[in-house]
Amino acid sequence: MNAPLLAIRGLRASYGKIEALKGVDLDIAAGEIVTLIGANGAGKSTLMMTIFGKPRARAGRIVYDGRDITSVPTHHIARMRIAQSPEGRRIFPRMSVAENLQMGADATDGTPAERAASLDKVVTLFPRLKERMTQRGGTLSGGEQQMLAIGRALMSRPRLLMLDEPSLGLAPLIAKQIFDAIRVLNRQDGLTVLIVEQNANHALRLAHRGYVMVNGLITLSGTGAELLKRPEIRAAYLEGGRQTDAPAAG
Ligand SMILES: Nc1ncnc2c1ncn2[C@@H]1O[C@H](COP(=O)(O)OP(=O)(O)OP(=O)(O)O)[C@@H](O)[C@H]1O
Ligand SMILES: [Mg+2]
């Protein structure tokens, strides 16, 4: 691999006495789709949030585009063209679709022309949003809210897009639309994507490579195709779906 766009080494993070990340190593090359799978409570969302500086890393390093960002404040990280769609979507329910998208654009300083181009891309990818520009975010369906959350992240013109469980709670057809959109962004724009998924089957088919997290540690990694064939992956994450409790929304 060339120098990765994101390189994580020995990353540790805690909530009080609970150590959620216990020394994580993970690489994402530019132009790659990488998926992170694992059971409830494994630390997947924490990894994504630690890249954003909340919680702060207790030890280890996060290097993005050759720069150590381990101690960079959260509000600066968005300016470095890293965007995330967090677990539970977290759109602004009282704001319109257009205003939600505007918030995404405000995360970086794009020119009016760049903003217009981003908006064009978002509505081409998700035509449903175009018909609903004046509608309040909170009144969108679950699938539409997910589209809005991804659209808002895209408005900041990311180089690295991180998505936390984008298919959670969606009907299979809508989930497929979301996965297809991610594939298009990757193929057409070379967008680099980190996707946390409970839908391991879909995610491993979509991703170039995957990592499996158990109790705050990476236990397995490989290409999507390799991981799909592993018996322990099939048993834990594919056959019969997730074996753990239903994930809490939000
Ligand atoms: N704000 C918090 N305060 C205290 N503990 C937390 C907090 N957030 C997460 N944890 C704990 O950290 C561990 C990892 O949680 P995390 O949300 O990263 O898991 P996850 O892999 O994303 O799980 P899921 O698949 O259910 O979303 C869990 O034990 C969880 O209880
Ligand atoms: Mg999570």
The parts of the chain modelled with pLDDT lower than 70 are: 1-2, 240-250
Per-residue pLDDT, 244:
43
From 22, 36, 40, the mutation candidate for ligand 1 (largest count of ligand atoms within 8 A of CB) is 40
CATH 3.40.50.300, domain 1-81+160-243, yes or no: yes
Residues with CB under 6 A from ligand 1: 15, 18, 20, 38, 40-46, 87, 247
As to burial, measured by CB atoms within 10 angstroms (0-12 exposed, 13-18 middle, 19+ buried), residue 30 is middle
* Ligand 1 midpoint to CA 152 (Å): 24
* Ligand 1 midpoint to CA 14 (Å): 10
Task: For residue 247, give the ligand 1 atom closest to its CA.
Answer: 26
Residue 187: both structure tokens together? 């193929």
Per-residue pLDDT, 112:
93
* Ligand 2 midpoint to CA 128 (Å): 27
Q: What are the pLDDT digits (tens) for 65-112?
A: 999 999 999 989 988 999 999 888 789 999 999 999 999 999 888 899
Integer-rounded Cα Rg, in Å, for the chain is: 17
The answer to whether residues 34 and 208 touch, using CB atoms and an 8 Å cutoff, is: yes
Q: Whose CA is nearest to atom 7 of ligand 1?
A: 15
Domain limits, the chain: 1-81+160-243, 90-158
Task: For residue 42, give the ligand 1 atom closest to its CA.
Answer: 21
Nearest ligand to the CA atom of 248:
1
* Ligand 2 midpoint to CA 120 (Å): 30
* Ligand 1 midpoint to CA 211 (Å): 17
| 43: nearest Cα among 18, 60, 61, 62 | 18
Alpha-carbon distance 107 to 76, whole Å? 9
Alpha-carbon distance 229 to 27, whole Å? 22
The answer to whether residues 137 and 95 touch, using CB atoms and an 8 Å cutoff, is: yes
